[in-house]
Structure 1
């Protein structure tokens, strides 16, 4: 029997050791906008896997995005999650569950971190906590992470979070400049 995801009740906020992980809310646009501005040079290094980072955006765009993601979280079509440091409330980036298939159920985990907080293990902590959330609350059977082969920081997160490399998709994405890029596919299976 097919799951009607809109009828599923699960928390829209949870915590890890250092993070508050929650669905976006009205008013989150300013914090997201500031973090994206700080991080654009890093994000734009991987245009094939982060096409959203190639577009110009302003504060209104960021606020609109957060409100759209809040609505998608409610209707269960996309589970974007914002990441905040528990200690200070500082916005550190975003993650969440996308490309969902509720019949299996399976989800893709995506993530980005503001540049000034790279290298502290915060995204690995978020991925581990979101994985636990997906297996426990969403009955996930499979989680996936897709990473540009040249983005070592991204695929190291997958490996540190104990996702298994399933393959390399050669010439799978194309940059705006026409360069073909390879994509690494990682997965974690329920009870594996």
Structure 2
């Protein structure tokens, strides 16, 4: 197995409508605006996005962007910001996280700012990142984890041809103290 630090992973991807790139210095203001607009929706499923639990500042968003760039370089996870090509607006974030290089497998995660939800951006980003994971990272498996009640994320999983492998009952605790069920979806690398 090659050391992940030696993998020449591209820092930018493009789809029909999206520029998907690694966070960088200076992304904080755009990230802060997108997160602030979307806090009520993002906080519905905090077990997936614990970083949105606390109030956010422009400085927090800048730190998050710079930390994301460092994580990418260290290959601890591969975060990306999603930008609409036609306007340059930051639409959200996506990434490949909890990578286990020894297997190799990873998990795809994503969010889209509230004003742009429902337009297929999450699906477009997830499909691009799944291809990236298989072709660039050479993983054998990509997981997508969603709260059972998060129907929007579950629809993205299904539209991106992930297979539901199981539901982990009472797997996570919500901020209100209730126990939540977790859906585990996966795709495996196509045979050559």
TM-score computed with the length of structure 2 as normaliser: 0.97
Q: Residue 9 of structure 2 corresponds to which residue in structure 1? A: 10
What is the number of equivalent residue pairs in this alignment?
A: 191
Contact 1:3 1:102 in 2 (8 A): no
1:136-181 alpha-carbon deviations (Å, 9 max, x no partner): 1111100000001111001110110000000001000001221000
**Which residue number in structure 1 is paired with residue 42 of structure 2?**
43
Q: Aligned runs of 1:13-162 on 2, under 5 Å? A: 13-162=12-161
Q: Distance in 2 between matches of 1:150 and 1:52?
A: 20
Gaps of 5+ in 1: none
Which one is further off, 150-159 or 48-57? 48-57
The RMSD of aligned alpha carbons is 0.9
Contact 1:49 1:173 in 2 (8 A): no
SS in 2 for 1:44: helix
Q: What's 2:163 paired with?
A: 164
User: What CA deviation, in whole Å up to 9, does each residue of 1:74-112 have, x standing for no partner?
Assistant: 111110011001111110000010001111211000000
Deviation of 1:3 after TM superposition, in Å, equals 2.9
Measure the CA separation in 1 of the matches of 2:121 and 2:6. 31
Contact 1:3/1:103 (<8 A) preserved: no
Contact 1:32/1:62 (8 A) holds in 2: yes
| Structure 2 SS opposite 1:156 | helix
Q: Deviations over 1:42-89 (max 9, x none)?
A: 111112332222111100010001001101111111100110011111
Q: State how far apart, in whole Å, the 1-side matches of 2:173 and 2:2 are.
A: 35
Runs of 5+ unmatched residues, structure 2: none
